[in-house]
Amino acid sequence: MCGIVGYIGKKTHGYDVLVDGLKRLEYRGYDSAGICVMTDKKTKTFRSVGTVARLEEKVGTPIDGVRVGIAHTRWATHGKPRVKNAHPHSSGKIHLVHNGIIENYQQLKKELIAAGYTFTSETDSEVVAHLIARENKKHDFAEAMYRALGRVVGAYALVILHEDYPDTLIAARNSSPLIVGIGKDAYIVASDASAIVSHTDRVVYLDDGEVMMVHDGAYTITNLRGRKKTKKTHTIDVDTQKAERSGYAHFMLKEMHEQPHAIEDAMRGRIILADGMARLGGLNSVEKRLRTIKRIVIVSCGTSYHAGLVGEYMLEEYAGIPTEVEWASEFRYRKPLIDAHTAVIAISQSGETADTRAAVREVKQKGGLALGIVNAVGSTIARETDAGVYNHAGPEIGVASTKAFTSQLAILTLLTVYLGRQRNMSMTMGKRILSELRKTPQAMTHILAQHDAIKKIAKKYANATSMFYLGRKYNFPIALEGALKMKEISYIHTEGYASGEMKHGPIALIDKDFPSVILAPKDSVYDKTLSAIEEIKARSGKVIALTTHGTKQVEKIADDVIYIPKTLELLTPLLAVVPLQLLAYYTGVIKGYDVDKPRNLAKSVTVE
């Protein structure tokens, strides 16, 4: 969702720190951007619609002499992307930036209007500025902030400054992520570590209901009633180089090409081939409990949900554990039956997705075992689950998830072997799966080398208005994922479907202008999938088929064919998704869209 950043320090380069921070957070939302800085006890505020680059244009010459300031990049929830709805929002001498949703803002707004406050935006966030200003009439800045937040219901990460307190910066968190970077003579508060790492590696993670106040160069952490708390300082190890585009045209292209490496990093130190075992250190603390698990429920959203669906097939077929996969946004409002023999696995790249976080809380509430497969180190889900496995895929900046997805599939394969070997999986089978998994990075490199051929296919179908993506068994989730990638990047209306379901209705849509991408690797359901291709061809539908090297039949019936190297059935999803990522990428580029920041999307969905 939105990206927020705050700076307070002895050095006067605050403007540069804030703008650099905004650029690194821009994947969280890019509907508008804004900044408020204080120089010589006066504030200057700039806001603009669109990207941070547009804001810089509006500011013109970078502002010098900035020791304190706040900034924001927006993903609109309340009020269209307009300058009046851009943050920071102000009330008198109070200025703030907000990430989250104030659920009771309508009621508070009515009360404040009745008290004579004038609203200039349609946002929920502006309410907080006026609330603090009203309390500030009777109380000092800090007390006014506590009293105001005592009235607020909802999710927030806030950074607040007051013109009369140039040596003070306040940040508060309830549900939306917030990290404090502790530098030499400076503090940087931000939605995630990417805006902090180039300045310091010492951070404090704020938890829900916590307030951080910097005053006169020192910081304190309290709860929402002002009671002091001591918090651990963490040292984060993030390679800023990895957050650069490194010569690629887009982060998405770079991250697709990083997949072979990301799989190697996911496997590093986790394969004991001689015993056909997987070693997952992050599960050591629950190893015994995992032996007693009788059921697994995977909760996640979007692309991570599709990874969960592949995991379901793997865990049932190779670990023999009944597995269900739930959309976290539905799971949290259902009455899920969770007992002590249920392990719930939350899969999340960002580790901050609000619905997945809430699902984890629900599970812990019910005494279930909450595990995480998370990429973002130190993120909330990683800290709130009982145990888990990090992807180690490095920062994923492109909004459309690619390397995190294939890395999630690799981790789910390791987890399947880990749990399978605790149960009835033989050493031979363990060895077979792990040695084939080890070959996937090279196979991926081979597929990535076919980018020109895939680009040609993208050009051929770029004007399609609708497309089907079809797959069966392990590749049904990949059909869903391929369809999601094409939606996100090219805005073509696509539907992922189980190929066996086509004749129960969707095939009615097929005609010569409605192409279908069909996943037909040489696996246990290959013949069935061939019939699905035939059925579509019989209605003049165009078919882009994806199959295994060496299979000749498909090219006789499909219009275009993409080949992937041979591997075990449960590992075909890891390979089959790569051409679909490339197809979406090139279609988006051909159509001239911003493939790293697709319209209406954000990388980390931190509100419901």
Nearer to ligand AGP (CB atom), residue 18 or residue 301: 301
Nearer to ligand AGP (CB atom), residue 353 or residue 516: 353
Cα 178 vs. chain centroid, distance in angstroms? 15
Q: Up-side HSE of residue 133: CA atoms within 13 Å toward CB? A: 20
Cα-Cα-Cα-Cα dihedral sign, residues 144, 147, 151, 152: positive
Amino acid identity, residue 104? N
Residue 98 tokens, joined: 């907000």
Give me the catalytic one of 403, 487, 542, 603.
Answer: 603
Cβ 608 to ligand AGP shortest distance, Å: 12
Cβ 346 to ligand AGP shortest distance, Å: 8
| Cα gap 227→210, rounded to integer Å | 10
- Interacting residue ranges for ligand AGP, rule: CB under 6 A: 301-304, 348-350, 353, 356, 399-401, 488, 604-605
Cβ 38 to ligand AGP shortest distance, Å: 34
Nearer to ligand AGP (CB atom), residue 301 or residue 510: 301
Cβ 304 to ligand AGP shortest distance, Å: 4
Cβ 481 to ligand AGP shortest distance, Å: 9
CB atoms inside a 10 Å sphere around CB 287:
12
Nearer to ligand AGP (CB atom), residue 301 or residue 444: 301
Judge whether 36 counts as a catalytic residue. no
The edge-to-edge listing of strands for the beta sheet with 168-174 is: 89-91, 94-102, 154-162, 168-174, 210-215, 218-223, 228-229
Peptide bond into 322 cis (omega under 30): no
Nearer to ligand AGP (CB atom), residue 85 or residue 300: 300
Nearest residue to ligand AGP by CB is 302
| Cα gap 213→3, rounded to integer Å | 19
Nearer to ligand AGP (CB atom), residue 134 or residue 257: 257
Cβ 487 to ligand AGP shortest distance, Å: 9
Question: Is residue 255 within 8 Å of 574, Cβ to Cβ?
Answer: no
| Cα gap 480→583, rounded to integer Å | 14
Residue 239: is it exposed, middle or buried by C-beta count within 10 angstroms (0-12/13-18/19+)? Answer: exposed
Question: Is residue 250 within 8 Å of 240, Cβ to Cβ?
Answer: no
Cβ 252 to ligand AGP shortest distance, Å: 9
Residue 251 tokens, joined: 């982060």
- Strands 234-235 and 202-205 come out as antiparallel
Nearer to ligand AGP (CB atom), residue 260 or residue 372: 372
- DSSP annotation of 508 reads G
Which segments of 457-520 are extended strands (E)? 466-471, 493-498, 516-520
Question: Is residue 67 within 8 Å of 38, Cβ to Cβ?
Answer: yes
Long-range contacts of 475-479 (CB under 8 A, 24+ apart): 475/519, 475/521, 475/523, 475/572, 475/573, 475/576, 476/309, 477/306, 477/307, 477/309, 477/310, 477/313, 477/573, 478/306, 478/310, 478/519, 478/573, 478/576, 478/577, 478/580, 479/517, 479/519
Partner residues linked to 203 by β-bridges: 181, 234
Nearer to ligand AGP (CB atom), residue 420 or residue 496: 496
Cβ 374 to ligand AGP shortest distance, Å: 8
Cβ 477 to ligand AGP shortest distance, Å: 13
Q: Which of 158, 100, 99 is nearest to 132 (CA)?
A: 158
Question: Is residue 94 within 8 Å of 43, Cβ to Cβ?
Answer: no
Judge whether 2 counts as a catalytic residue. yes
Nearer to ligand AGP (CB atom), residue 134 or residue 254: 254
| Cα gap 271→417, rounded to integer Å | 10
Q: Is 538 left (phi over 0), alpha (psi -120 to 50) or beta?
A: alpha
Cβ 409 to ligand AGP shortest distance, Å: 13
Nearer to ligand AGP (CB atom), residue 349 or residue 516: 349
Nearer to ligand AGP (CB atom), residue 29 or residue 302: 302
Give me the catalytic one of 2, 431, 542, 597.
Answer: 2
| Residues carrying an active site annotation | 2, 603
